[in-house]
Chains A and B, each alone.
Chain A
């Protein structure tokens, strides 16, 4: 059973960058889309972007374009999310999640079936 284990909580100052890691134990990264989802306190889930080890490039929500970089390293079974130019509004819990092609009937449909435990990032001066 694959587990995603994320790095620990971070406290950053406005304008700084943060890099959060997510290591897959018990499996590989290939064939999956590794996404990052954030949740601001008291609010809903927000998909930030995702990356596949095969492509090596990320796809990002427009809101975060230019500030976020998501990578997936097949050799270390680890995915990373780096967010730059931090502001107080970026204070949130950040989750990694595995997007898996799941079979339904004769077709395959992506869904995020395995999640990390979450990493709290606090941005404060």
Chain B
């Protein structure tokens, strides 16, 4: 199975900050990576797919990059509604595993 490691697991930031979350795969997955946002008590929401393609309706302050084993999710200017937990997921071979999550909290 392909293992995904996110870092950091937790980060504290202020509104307006630039935030970067990384996701490392245990083996190469090309660009078969998605990012999700989850608010407390809610279902996850797709933000980015194919490592860098913004899902329709997602604000442009979100961006993704990377290929192979190393990926990043960047929020260019953190907004109050962005305080949430973020997960990466690979969608190559089964099982489609998730990273352990990164919780973004208000400083």
Report whether over half of chain A's contact residues are helix, strand or loop; otherwise say mixed: strand
Q: Give the interface size bracket for A toward B.
A: 20 to 34
Residues B89-105 near A (CB distance < 8 A) = 89, 91, 94-101
Give CA–CA (A76, B55) in the complex, Å: 28
Beyond A44-B100, A109-B31, whether A50 also contacts B89 by CB under 8 A is no
Chain A residues within 8 Å of B, Cβ to Cβ: 35, 37, 44-47, 49-50, 59-62, 95, 97, 99, 102, 104-105, 107, 109-113, 115-118
User: Which of these, B1, B52, B99, contacts A62 with CB under 8 Å?
Assistant: B1
Closest-by-CB residue of B relative to A64 is B95
Q: Give the interface size bracket for B toward A.
A: 20 to 34
User: Which of these, B45, B53, B55, B96, contacts A50 with CB under 8 Å?
Assistant: B96
Say yes or no for B5: interface residue by CB 8 A criterion.
no
Tell me which residues across on chain A come within 8 A of B46, comparing CB atoms: 111-113
User: Which of these, B31, B43, B99, contacts A116 with CB under 8 Å?
Assistant: B43
